[in-house]
Chains A and B, each alone.
Chain A
């Protein structure tokens, strides 16, 4: 999946949670919490939304790391790559 695509989808998830950001530009490199007013429950909903949007199976150790849109792209890209590799490995067997 292209990085831009992940960022666009993550942004959509974020805007679903914080509708007031619909027309505000979000800097992908900066901490989301500095740019959007989200509390711990919003953050949980954000991670659940990402998990659903990407079918990523986000593990617990990554939970706190979705701090910026860039971080989302890094983690989800890595999880997707890991899954792709695992699937290929199974095919080869």
Chain B
């Protein structure tokens, strides 16, 4: 028997509220399957299980708020399982096959589940199916708006508190040092333009993906910036899971991690970033994405200030920042040439690394961006 416990999704999370179960008792789950939706100060997160087996029982009910570490469910590790019998039972005539979360939501929204088309396994109705169905149902406007506004301001407030706690801890505990340097993005953007010309719009790559990839590849040679500082000592992580800062509509930000960032090709990385942004904004991040980050990158895109000097997200030890991409000039062969520039910065933990290595890391990022053929190589 294994216990599935309330996960700690961030340094300062102390408790979470169960929104609902996405699987039913008796169902088989594999490692990494989403089993529950948990409301945290980072919004609603899809929680993954770490044990393969059969769900034996649930110990708390939707709506319950419990401290981190509280057992939520019992999972019988792989062995005999009543899986087939139970799924046959669910598809009986007249009985609606729906996940518990979908049931809850449908009840809340007053939607008749028998009229909803399920897209899950065996046609099971899932939360998104109910959401889709809800869009076509006419609901009195005033009522939904105030409801939505209220829940928005409540979650915005919770997120503000989470950011406040993490940033306060960071600035109290981490002796930051900051470095910055300007990178000529002309060659990389020229390369990108040619790449995009050959790609359909759907597969277009934005400059942000190049910046992220350059940072991830460069980090391979700088282990002292990739890892966690916990209980008075630093542990380097072999995997490079770059947390990618995403600002949310209505305020706040999250920095979910792209697992194995350096192992993704440019196209895969762009797809991962787009998926993460859309899930972060719709409140469907996974627990592993919030707990597995080993370093953070923030990139301001095309508008905004020239330089960002970030605050490290504890227990990480480094944050790489890219300001907005701007027009500028570069000096080469005794002359000047118009180009595009970006300011790269590093905020790092002085308990773990020193400025000289930090400078070398920024220089390595610059070298990758200034030699795009290397950056685009699909090395694993």
Contact = CB atoms under 8 A, between A and B. Distances in A.
B is a partner of A: yes
Contacts of B202: 48, 51
Interface string B166-204: 000000000000000000000000000000110101101
A47 B201 contact: yes
B249 interface: yes
Interface residues of B, number: 19
Contact of A44 (B197, B204, B250, B303): B204
A53 interface: no
A39 B281 CA distance: 13
B249 A18 contact: yes
A58 B208 contact: no
B285 interface: no
Nearest to B302: A40
A20 interface: yes
Interface in B283-308: 301-303
B274 A41 contact: yes
A5 interface: no
A60 B301 contact: no
Given A48-B201, A60-B196, A40 B249 contact: no
Given A41-B206, A44-B206, A51 B201 contact: yes
Given A48-B201, A63-B201, A20 B250 contact: yes
B208 A40 contact: yes
A73 to B, nearest CB: 18
Given A20-B249, A20-B250, A60-B196, A40 B301 contact: yes
Contact of B206 (A20, A37, A40, A51): A40
What are the 6 A-B residue pairs with the smallest beta carbon separation, nearest first? Answer: A40-B301, A60-B197, A51-B201, A39-B301, A40-B302, A40-B206
Given A44-B201, A63-B201, 10 more contacts: A33-B303, A39-B247, A41-B273, A41-B277, A44-B206, A45-B274, A58-B201, A60-B196, A60-B199, A63-B196
27 contacts: A33-B303, A39-B247, A39-B301, A39-B302, A39-B303, A40-B206, A40-B208, A40-B301, A40-B302, A41-B206, A41-B208, A41-B274, A41-B277, A41-B301, A44-B204, A44-B206, A44-B274, A45-B274, A45-B278, A47-B201, A48-B201, A48-B202, A51-B202, A60-B199, A63-B196, A63-B201, A63-B204
